[in-house]
Amino acid sequence: MNVVTAPHHDASLESKIHARTARVGVIGLGYVGLALAVETAEIGFPVVGVEIDATKAAMVNAGEPYIADVTDDMLRHVVDSHKLTATTNYGELRGVDVIIICVPTPLTKSKEPDLSHVMAAAEACVPMLRPGILVVLESTTYPGTTVEVVQPILETSGLRAGTDFALAFSPERIDPGNRRYSLRTIPKVVGGVTPASTQIARSFYEQVANTVVSVSSPTVAEMVKVYENVFRNVNIALVNELTLLCDRMGLDVWEIIETAATKPYGFMPFYPGPGVGGHCIPVDPYYLSAKAREYDFHARFIELAATVNDSMPYYVVSRTTGALETMGKTVCGANILILGVAYKKDIPDVRMSPALKIMALLEKRGASVTYHDPHVSEVALTNPGTIRSVPLTDEALAGADCVILATDHSDLDYERIVAQASLVVDTRNRLRAFRAPHVVRL
């Protein structure tokens, strides 16, 4: 039997982890970081969260959550018990035992990976490093980021990853708004730069997740994450492309999917829509394909899938244009009401939402665009700027030349929408029960 001997400092940290006295620092209090910070504090760890947005840091300290998966009671409990504090000052991380990096990994305008936030967080950690500390990157990124980008930055401290301090990658798997699977119940993947790093990271995550799955390296863990999301992106692209074909052939793609789903093996239903949103699914294919090019490998299949999904807002606008023309109207000058701007139903998250692209395209074509979303009070567009959600009144529905159902929130009154609107473009098949001639589906 092979026995892995951890560096002596890891034994001290492991005992603190099991006693839940280890001080935890979370960098980035967004959808991932805040949920993790609250969960970690709830089970007893003292947690300090670093958030460069001073408004968000102040809201955390006031017990006011700004993400759907953290309730007022959850946040106030850990703040009032002094288990969680938020700050804009990286210096507050001095003396922590565990640092978890949960910062954004967006795309540039040319859809290349932007690791500036990860690099800035790693650089800010350098003065805080000391022997025995554990650093974990959770930000979704391309395979190789931990060892090729984060590790060299951290080692400018003079300490060596895997020898003086533990370093690992553990991909976030949070699904905003999902009431069935939580941070606690979703298996956590961890991969360290050494077996000892993996073990100490595993020990930590075993405190917050029911199941922890260890892999052989951070790069494997990073690939696991992007593969999970590329898998979804590719299959969504497949059904979106099928939708375009069925449109030309005069076939009902929804009937085809529902019938295919009756097969008890070898088939998993995916559904078309106005595009893909959120942080991971629209972004990860570009991260993976960019990394692949370093190896003279062109991920054409993955890139094509991303292109198909990116084109769906244009298709929605095209369908809207055609539907308006059948009523003797044009997009230019039309009053268009968008229902739902979040990237998925029942959450307030608008990151990479296809609804925003649809709105921008319609504005560019001369339409007057308003929106209603019970979960999103305002959104920022390039033109005309920040706009606010309008009340969903009978007058607003009747006064719109076209209503586009972009996000099918559960608390919308769909019967009233169909009754009051003169034209509805349904991108989610939510109105399938209404076989009205003025309801147009993808």
Question: At 18, which helix (H) or strand (E)?
Answer: helix 8-19
Strand, coil or helix: 1 = coil
How much is the pLDDT for 435?
84
Q: d(Cα 415, Cα 300) in Å, to the nearest integer?
A: 43
What is the identity of the amino acid at 234?
V
What are the residue ranges of CATH 3.40.50.720 in the chain? 8-216, 253-441
How much is the pLDDT for 181?
85
Residue 246 designated active-site: no
Asked if the peptide bond before residue 195 counts as cis, ω within 30 degrees of 0, the response is no
**Contact 204/98 with Cβ under 8 angstroms?**
yes
Residue with tokens 């804009």: 88
How much is the pLDDT for 381?
82
Class level of CATH domain 253-441: alpha beta
Fold of 8-216: Rossmann fold (3.40.50)
Alpha helices in 127-269 (DSSP H): 145, 151-154, 195-208, 218-249, 253-260
**Contact 337/372 with Cβ under 8 angstroms?**
yes
How much is the pLDDT for 220?
98
**Contact 343/354 with Cβ under 8 angstroms?**
yes
What is the mean pLDDT for each group of 10 consecutive residues in the chain (442 residues)? 43 93 97 96 97 97 92 95 97 96 94 96 97 97 97 98 97 84 92 98 97 98 97 97 96 97 96 94 94 95 95 98 96 97 94 96 96 95 84 97 97 96 97 92 90
**C-alpha to C-alpha distances, 395 to 18, 151, 417, 419, 422, nearest whole angstrom:** 60, 58, 11, 12, 12
Q: What is the edge-to-edge ordering of all strands in the sheet holding 212-214?
A: 84-87, 47-50, 24-27, 98-101, 134-137, 166-169, 188-192, 212-214
Q: d(Cα 21, Cα 405) in Å, to the nearest integer?
A: 49
Catalytic residue among 246, 280, 332, 402: 280
Structure tokens of 108?
């540039």
